[in-house]
Amino acid sequence: MPILVVADLHLDMWLQAGRDPLAALSPELLGSLDGVFIAGDLSNKPKVRWQSMIRHLARYVPLEHIHVLPGNHDYYDHVLDGDDRLAEICAEAGANFAQKSVTVIGDTRFLSCTLWTDFALHADPGRAMMAAQRDMNDYRYIRCAGAGFRRIRPSDTAFIHADHRAWLEEKLSAPLAGETIVVTHHCPHPDLIGERRGDLEAAYGSNLLPMIEKFQPDLWLFGHTHWRVEATVGKTVVRNVSLAYPGQVPAGEEEGIFLRGLVSAITS
Ligand SMILES: [Fe+2]
C-alpha cells in the first residue's frame, strides 16, 4: 500500500520556473502508488490554476488516486469559505477533495484537514494575531464571502482551526483496527515550526501535543513550514513533508524530499 504524501508542492511556481518536480520520481514508484495526498499548497489562485495543476498530476498518477487538501495558498484570490468551489474543481477534474475527509486505503485511515492555527503557541495570542494580520500574505490575498468579501482576519482562521481540531478529535476518538495517519497543512508540534519567525511562529503551527499523546495516531504528516524535520511523540511519528518553493530545492534533491512522505517506508 504505497501512499505518497507531499505538502507545499507549489506546482504553479515550479512549472513557471521550468522545472517539473514529479519528473524526479521513477515510473516504477509512481506506478505502484495507491494514492497521492497533496497536503496543501498545490498552487495559488485555485479557481484559475487547480484544474491544470490536477491535469499535470494526472500525467503521473491516475486521477482517482489523487487527494487534494487545501493549504493557505490554495485560498489566494479565493475565499476562505469557498471549500465548496474547491471540491467542485476536484470533482470536475476527477480527483478527490480531502478537506475534513476520512479516506480509507487498505486498512489505513487517513484523516485530513487544513488545520490553520490557534495563535496560542506563545503566551500572547492577541499579539500573534496582530503580527499575522500585518505581515502574512494570507490576510491580504484571501477574502471571506460570508462577510461581504472583506479580507480575512486571524480570528477567521482561528475559528476554522477550532472546527478542524474538533473534527480531528471526533474522528480520532472512533476506534479502528489498522493504522491511522493524520495529514494536515499546518504544523501540530511546537518544536517543529522552525526558528526566528518571532511573533509569526504562531501562524505556522499550534501545540497539539495533548491530542497526539491522547490518541497516538501512527503518523502525522504536515507541511507549511518548508522545514523538513520530525519528532516522535509516544508511538506517533510527526514529520514535515514539505517540498517547498523551487528556489529552495537544489536540482537533484526532489526525489529524496518526496520519499520523506512515502507512507509505507515510514511505518514499516
Ligand atoms: Fe502553506
Is 90 exceeded by the pLDDT of residue 10?
Answer: yes
Beta-sheet strands, E only, within 101-145: 101-105, 108-113, 142-144
State the pLDDT at residue 264.
84
Q: What percent of the chain has pLDDT over 70?
A: 99
Please compute Rg for the chain using Cα positions.
17
d(CA 201, CA 203): 5
Helix 83-93 and helix 46-57, axial crossing angle in degrees, nearest 10: 30
State the pLDDT at residue 260.
97
State the pLDDT at residue 268.
66
Mean per-residue pLDDT over the chain, rounded = 96
Q: Is residue 90 a contact partner of residue 97, using CB atoms and an 8 Å limit?
A: yes
Instruction: Report the length, in residues, of the chain.
Output: 268
Q: What percent of the chain has pLDDT over 90?
A: 93
Is 90 exceeded by the pLDDT of residue 253?
Answer: yes
Tell me, in angstroms, the distance from the centre of ligand 1 to residue 116's CA: 9
Tell me, in angstroms, the distance from the centre of ligand 1 to residue 60's CA: 23
For residue range 60-110, list pLDDT tens digits in order. Answer: 999 999 999 999 999 999 999 999 999 999 999 999 999 999 999 999 999
Tell me, in angstroms, the distance from the centre of ligand 1 to residue 40's CA: 7
Residue with cell 493549504: 71
Is 90 exceeded by the pLDDT of residue 199?
Answer: no
Is 90 exceeded by the pLDDT of residue 196?
Answer: no
CATH of domain 3-267: 3.30.750.180
Residue 152 DSSP label: P
Is 70 exceeded by the pLDDT of residue 119?
Answer: yes
- SS3 call for 185: coil
Tell me, in angstroms, the distance from the centre of ligand 1 to residue 226's CA: 8
Is 80 exceeded by the pLDDT of residue 122?
Answer: yes
The pTM assigned to this predicted structure is 0.97
Tell me, in angstroms, the distance from the centre of ligand 1 to residue 204's CA: 8
Q: Which residues contact 192 (CB under 8 A, 6 or more apart)?
A: 205, 222, 225, 227, 229, 230, 231, 238, 240
